[in-house]
Structure 1
Amino acid sequence: MILVTGATGTVGRLVLDRLPAHRAVRVLARDPSRVTVDRPGVQVVRAAYEDPAGLREALGGVRRALLVTTRVAGGDDDVFLRAAREAGVRQVVKLSAAAVVDVRAQDLITRWQRDCEAALTSSGLGWTLLRPRSFMSNSLSWAPSVRAENVVRALYGGAPNACVDPRDIADVAVRALTEDGHAGQAYTLTGPEPLTAVEQTEQLGQVLGRRLRFEELEADQARASLLRRHPEAVVEALLESALRLRAGAKAHVGDTVRAVTGSAPRSFGSWAEDHADAFASAAPVT
């Protein structure tokens, strides 16, 4: 039995869709109505990390699990791992982030991710760490301004980022969940090339057949926008991370996706083509 957490999120949803049809799969979900899956036979258990009884039900008979947590500085990983150990889970595949291996990264989010990794690697359970660079899908946050104004607004438009397609992350996760040989491995996952936000804007415009304009945000503008979606401590961590981006810390390209899956990582242009509908309502070009 494979357990998938985070099944309503970007990576968990893709993992759920990609797991082989013959595998027994269970989903842990706070709100089962939000779980959408095309494959039959998936069992969905209503539970949350702070729900011990629900966790026990979700983990019964599970041998491998995908662990996705998002409550920064929360104790969800510790709770899940304790329950997994008691349930006899053999291996946990943990979604982390590439920043954990950068000693210069000391923001709140990265320190929390390091703590989560340490909790897993010291738990006595088998483990695999997935450390993706920024998701290509983060550019979906540009969709409203692209639709309304043909404009992309972002911090540090000239800073390169080897962002990765979430589908590649999911493909690696599925391998780790269904094959032997991935225990004790930490996989840093990147796209095929470093791209700046300006270059992403150009590629997105080519896909859409429209000329898009890039406008660089000031730090205060970015902070104000982020505060509408995140707590202040998280916002400051994201801004610290953006400074590392500007310094070139996120430009390195690795070959782990190909090494694990046998396929080259998808390009941003490919991602944009497959998600063009999200940006499709064009504003009149002036």
Structure 2
Amino acid sequence: MIVVTGATGTVGGHVARLLCADHPTRLLGRSLSRLRAVVPAADVVTADFADQSSLERALEGARALFAVTANPLEPAHDAHLLAAARTAGVQHVVKLSALAVTDDRADDLITNWQRENEDRVRASGLAWTLLRPRSFMSNTLSWARSVRAHHTVATPQPQSRNASVDPRDVAEAAVIALTTAGHEQQEYALTGPQAISPAEQCEHLAQVLARPVRCVEISLERAYTAWAQHYPQPIARALLDSARRQGDGAKQGVDPTLARLLGRPATTYRAWATDHAHRFS
């Protein structure tokens, strides 16, 4: 049995659907209805990261765990999940982290939280695999409403490049690590096949949609104000720090690891945009 956390999220949902097709899989979360919407026939169980005993019950009988946590303001969630995994006899944890942990210049809340999570995984006594993706191509879905209504994307630093990755590729790599041997005690940098800027992404969207998509630059200060309206201030500040590092070129390195794991080239942004064109129309 493989247990998937974060199944209602972007990568976790893809992992759940891939695993459930061929492997005994259990989806763990707080809402049965939301979990069942991911894979209607899946084995689903409710648990709360704040309640270790509920996690122990959810992990009973599991051989492997795909671990996704989402709240850097609650570091105890990861501690509870790993402790429950040990108690339940889980053998292998595949943890979704972030490539920013390898950047010495990254000292923001989210990156330091991920570093601490990785340290916990290494110290857990379990077999582990760390997945470190760059930013997800699907983050550009936040532009969809503006593209539909105004044919416009407003973004800071539109010429800065990021080797963003298709979350479906990350999910496929996770399934490989969860279901095949040889990935224990490995750290995988997962990037797309090229570094691409927001302006270039808008060009691809325009071509896919066959209509103009205008990229408009906004200041980092304006972007921070928008983030602060949706996230707690420490998280908004971390997003600002991350954006500044992208502007300094920290996120444009392309790594061949993902293509090696998948046995094929990593998905391009153009291919991702083509598959998701309906979301922008």
Q: Is the 8 A contact 2:53 2:84 kept in 1?
A: no
Give 3-state SS (helix, strand or coil) of 1:19's partner: helix
Residue 37 of structure 1 aligns with which residue?
38
Unaligned runs of 5+ in 1: 281-286
Matches of 1:138 and 1:117 in 2, distance apart? Answer: 23
8 Å contact from structure 1 (residues 17, 39) kept in 2: no
TM-score normalised by the chain length of structure 2 = 0.97
Deviations 1:39-81 (A, max 9, x none): 74x2100111112332121110101000000111421111110
The amino acid across from 2:160 in the alignment is A
Tell me the equivalent position of 1:131: 132
2:124 and 2:277 map into 1 onto residues whose CA distance is 42
Kindly report structure 1 stretches of 4+ aligned residues shifted beyond 3 Å. Answer: 37-40
* Residue of structure 2 equivalent to 1:47: 47
For residues 87 and 57 of structure 1, the distance between their equivalents in structure 2, rounded to whole angstroms, comes to: 8
Gaps of 5+ in 2: none
1:23 is displaced (CA, Å) by 1.4
Matches within 5 A, 1:30-109: 30-35=30-35, 36-38=37-39, 40=41, 42-74=42-74, 75-109=76-110
Question: In angstroms, what is the RMSD of aligned CA positions?
Answer: 1.1
Alpha-carbon distance between aligned partners in 2 of 1:279 and 1:21, rounded to the nearest angstrom: 29
Q: How many angstroms apart in 1 are the aligned matches of 2:221 and 2:242? A: 15
> Which protein is richer in helix relative to its size?
2
Residue 152 of structure 1 contacts residue 201 of structure 1 at CA under 8 Å; is this kept in 2? yes
Report the Cα distance in structure 2 between the residues aligned to 1:95 and 1:86, rounded to whole angstroms.
21
Identity percentage of aligned residues: 48
Deviations 1:151-184 (A, max 9, x none): 0111111101100000000000000111111011
Cα distance in 2 for partners of 1:258, 1:17 equals 21
User: What does the per-residue CA deviation read over 1:168-212, in whole Å, with 9 as the maximum and x for residues that have no partner?
Assistant: 000000001111110111111000100011000101110000111
Task: Give the AA of the match of 1:112.
Answer: W
Question: Partner of 2:120 in structure 1?
Answer: 119
Q: Separation in 1 of the partners of 2:56 and 2:252?
A: 42
Aligned to 1:170: 171
Matched positions, count: 279
Return the TM-score normalized by structure 1: 0.95
